[in-house]
Homo-oligomer: A and B are copies of this chain.
Amino acid sequence: MRFLVTGGYGFVGSHLVEDLCSSNHDVTVLDNLSNGRLSNLESVRNKITMCMANIEHIRTLHFGDKFDGIFHLATAPRSSSLMDPMRDIETNCKGMMAVLELARAHGAKVVFTSNSGIYGTAPAGASIDESSANNPTTPYDANKLVSEYYCKIYHEIHGVRSLVVRFATVYGERQQVNEKLNWKPLVATLVKNVVNNEDVTINGDGEQTRDLIYVKDAVDGVVKAMASSAGDADICLLSTNKETSVNEVLGMVEEITGQKARIIRSEPLKGDIRRMKYDYGKAKRKFGFEPKYTAKEGIDKMVKYAKKNLHQ
C-alpha cells in the first residue's frame, strides 16, 4: 500500500517508517527536520521518497499517485508551546487541517497520533480511559484536542476516515533531547545525563509519574490502527496502564548503567502533569493492541543505544 508519514524522520516516525518498509509498503516521508534527523532513516533511505516541508504547507505539494493512508505524526513539541503558542497553532492546528484536506482529496485514511496529556492529571490511583474528562493544561494539549475534533468533523461532513491514538509517554532508541526546542523527553534525558556523566535535573520531588510505552509497542499500535476496518475518528489510548515515577526511571538507569547520578533539584515545571496511568482496553478491543515491553526492558535497550552513541 501507499503511505505518507508526516514527521517520519523523527523518533517515533522513523521506527514506523522502518516497520512499513520492512512490510514492503510504498512510503513517502514528509518532515521539516526541525527535530527529525536524516540519519534516523539511514537504513531505508533508498526505499523511501522524501519531502522536506512544513506540514501546514502540504497543499502546495504534488505527490503523484494517491495515498491509501496517512500517518500524521508531525508535531510542534509540548515543551515549547507556552513559549511559542503561535508556532504551535501553525504546526499542530493548521498541520492537522492540511492533512485532513489531503486525505479528503486522496480518499486516504488518517491515523493521527494525539497525546494523552490532554486529560491533565489523574486522580490518585485512578486509571484514565477514553471517557475521562479533558483538561488540557498547555496550548499544545488544547491544539491536540481541537485536532481530534477536526478529525471527527471531517469524518461527519466530508466522510474522511480516520482513527486518533493518544500516546502515553513514548520512549526508545533515537529519541532526542533537543535543548533548542526545549524538548527534553524524560527517559532520553535521564539516560543521556547518566551515561554521559552529566548533572541530572529533577523538577519537583520526582514522584510525578508517567505511563511509559516503548516505541516498538507504540508503532505496533499505529500500524494496527491503520490496518483495522474502523475509520470513524474514534479516539484510542496507546499505553501500558502502569505508572513509573521520575525517581523510579532514574533508579533503573542507575542500576542498568552501574553509574550513580549527580542530582540537582529544581522547581516543578509549569503545566506539568502529576500522574499518568492510561487504560488501553479500547485499543485492544478495537484493533488488538497490547504492549509487550516492560519499562525495564525498554530502558535497557535505551541505555545500550546511548552507550553506542555517547555525547549525542
A97 interface residue, CB < 8 Å from B? yes
Q: How far is the CB of A120 from chain B (nearest CB, A)?
A: 10
Q: Using Cβ atoms and an 8 Å threshold, which residues of chain B touch A270?
A: 157
Query: Using a CB-CB cutoff of 8 Å, which residues 245-266 of chain A contact chain B?
Result: none
Contact A150–B142 (Cβ < 8 Å):
yes
Q: How far is the CA of A139 from the CA of B104 in the complex (A)?
A: 15
By a beta-carbon cutoff of 8 Å, the part of chain A in contact with chain B is: 56, 82, 85-86, 89, 93-94, 97-98, 101, 136-139, 142-143, 145-146, 149-150, 153, 156-157, 270-271
Stoichiometry (number of copies): 2
Given contacts A86-B94, A89-B94, A94-B86, contact A136 B157 (CB under 8 A): no
Q: Using Cβ atoms and an 8 Å threshold, which residues of chain B touch A149?
A: 136, 142, 145
Q: How far is the CA of A82 from the CA of B150 in the complex (A)?
A: 11
Q: How far is the CB of A176 from chain B (nearest CB, A)?
A: 26
Q: How far is the CB of A268 from chain B (nearest CB, A)?
A: 13
With A82-B157, A89-B97, A137-B153 known, 16 other A-B pairs at CB within 8 A are A85-B101, A85-B150, A86-B94, A86-B97, A86-B98, A89-B89, A89-B94, A93-B93, A93-B146, A136-B153, A137-B157, A139-B150, A139-B153, A156-B271, A157-B270, A157-B271
Contact B82–A93 (Cβ < 8 Å):
no
Q: Using Cβ atoms and an 8 Å threshold, which residues of chain B touch A153?
A: 136-139, 142, 271
